[in-house]
Structure 1
Amino acid sequence: MKIILVGFGVIGKGVLKVINLKKNHLLEKYGLDLSVVAICDSSGAAINKEGLDLELALKIKEETGKIASYPEFGQNIGIIEVIESVPADIVIEVSPTNIHTGEPAKSYMLKAFETKKHVVSANKGPLALFFKEITGVAKEHGVILRYEASVGGATPIINLAKETLAGNRVKSIKGILNGTTNYILTKMEKEQLDFNTVLKEAQELGIAETNPHQDISGLDTAAKLAILANSIMGREVTINDVVLEGITRITPESLLMANKGGYAIKLIGEVTDKKLEVCPKLVPIDHPLNVKGSLNVAMFNTDLANDIVVVGTGAGDVETASAILSDILNIHQSLKK
């Protein structure tokens, strides 16, 4: 199975590490022979229809920051042109997320569909804004779109609901879908520190971005919630439909007061047939949603299985790549049927 990797940042590098690590296992257990024939970043691309050396690609990126510096096969070429011209089975789309326009990732995905390539994406932006259009175009061209890694990183939220809980009606989903805000609130609660102090520490540790606005405002959670609402609940919404409040107004005093009453304060995203909101909420201290640190958690309320809770890592290169790998395997097994 031939792969084009679009985006060679933290997640893209994680994808190559995981493919390298699991190559023999995938071949022996699933009969899946993965070959990365193109890697794209903002500098251009490395293209070899026989398959690129992944360790060399990682080394070149580390040393030069540009995949176009890959010896012999590196070239200055646009990503759309790569998707159009390079024969492949799957495009893995992990370019930087834009939750305001969805571009250029949306165009990469649509071009992949038009050229009859399946897509595995970790990109929230296009799906949070244009879910119906993107899934419709994939269906129109008879290709598969998978996007487990777009919500919750390594935590299997979408596939759990759509496959393991198939046959259930999911009545509501609520959870913590952003590890950065959960880390900040946990640290504020535990050490009685103010928001700005903990945010600065999280930035120094690399847990929070240099510009943390999307996380602390709740926008990141809202994007993920819109994807869950569309893909699992069957709603037709975008990130712009989410009622939103972030965590910047939470104080150590409010956390202490909540604790004394037997509660924690968490940034909770919740979707039902009528509700679509992200805001800080009181969560009982012994409740399954009260996870600590940078963990993610999702709770499904269903008609048959009642409440089902999944907890896991919401970020990280190899961790997120594990979700991408599960989607690749799903496509491989679907095509064998």
Structure 2
Amino acid sequence: YEATVGAAIPIFTVARESLKHDRIISIEGILNGTTNYILSRMSEDKVSFDDALREAQEMGYAEADPTYDVEGIDAACKLVILANGIMDMDKRLSDIEVEGISRVTPEMIELAEEDGYLVKHVAYLDENKMEVAPRLVPRNSPLAVGGTFNVITFNTELSGPLTFIGKGAGPRETASAILADIITIAEKRGGIKIGGHVA
């Protein structure tokens, strides 16, 4: 289920294969490309929330009914998948404190920027806390990505923080992750060798 979180970012593969020796203490990141696009447009180009949302819909980043995205439900669902799939928890959507971005105003963004911060919709998970909410992020933070980019940071016991960045919205990116899942399933069943026959 690589395609469920982070589009083309191979987050589950990294956690399962590259971090077998380590323990992930917490996960934080930007898990929804739509909300990141909206907040980026409001920050960089000073457009209103409604105009940025309309643009996101026109570009295919947001659904006709954007409620799941802008109210944080999509990011919260992805956080549950990370909690259960990577940190071996047994969490549900109801376990997460969720706040969307619909109440973020241009004035809030401007005040944050005056102090050297950006407003980002951040998901956070550790053994005691799970939340999705608008947060102030320093401009030099790994979380300060723009556009439709997603970012996921594993804070680990041995390796320290490990950050992964990639586009979190768009048909090519999602298709890439789905293809990776299909290949993984086929390989586990003893099939497929792309370019080397065996189907």
Fold shared by both chains (TM-score > 0.5):
yes
Which residue number in structure 1 is paired with residue 74 of structure 2? 220
1:313 partnered with 2:181? no
Identify which of 86, 89, 103 aligns with 1:232: 86
1:241-285 deviation per Cα after TM superposition (whole angstroms, max 9, x unaligned):
111000011111111111111110100011000111100011110
Aligned residue identity for 1:274: N
Per-residue displacement from partner, 1:194-245 (whole Å, max 9, x unpaired)?
A: 2112112222222221100000000000000000001111111111211100
**Cα distance, 1:175 vs. partner?**
0.4
Q: Distance in 2 between matches of 1:219 and 1:199?
A: 16
Task: Please tell me the root mean square deviation across aligned C-alpha atoms, in Å.
Answer: 1.5
The answer for unaligned runs of 5 or more in structure 2 is 191-199
2:60, 2:170 within 8 Å by CA — same for their partners in 1? no
Aligned-partner Cα distance in 2 for 1:301–1:222? 19
Give the match's secondary structure for 2:91.
coil
* Percent of pairs with identical residues: 48
Q: What's the offset of the Cα at 1:159?
A: 1.6
Structure 1 equivalent of residue 22 of structure 2 = 168
Task: Confirm whether residue 272 of structure 1 aligns to residue 126 of structure 2.
Answer: yes
Residue number among 122, 135, 139 corresponding to 1:285 in the alignment? 139
Alignment match, 2:53: 199
Determine which structure has greater relative contact order: mean sequence separation of CA pairs < 8 Å that are 6+ residues apart, divided by chain length. 2
Higher percent of residues as helix: 1
Alignment length (residue pairs): 191
Select which of 127, 143, 150 maps to 1:296: 150
Equivalents in 2 of 1:280, 1:211: separation in Å? 20
Shift of 1:300: 0.4
Give structure 1 stretches of 5+ with no counterpart.
Answer: 1-146
Confirm whether residue 190 of structure 1 aligns to residue 40 of structure 2. Answer: no
1:17-57 deviation line (CA, Å, top 9, x unaligned): xxxxxxxxxxxxxxxxxxxxxxxxxxxxxxxxxxxxxxxxx
Matches within 5 A, 1:1-337: 147-336=1-190
TM-score when normalising by structure 1: 0.55
Work out the CA distance in 1 between the residues paired with 2:157 and 2:188. 28
Deviations 1:58-109 (A, max 9, x none): xxxxxxxxxxxxxxxxxxxxxxxxxxxxxxxxxxxxxxxxxxxxxxxxxxxx
Residues 156/251 of structure 1: CA separation in 2 closer, same or farther (3 Å cut): same
Alignment check: 8 A CA contact 1:152 1:314 kept: yes
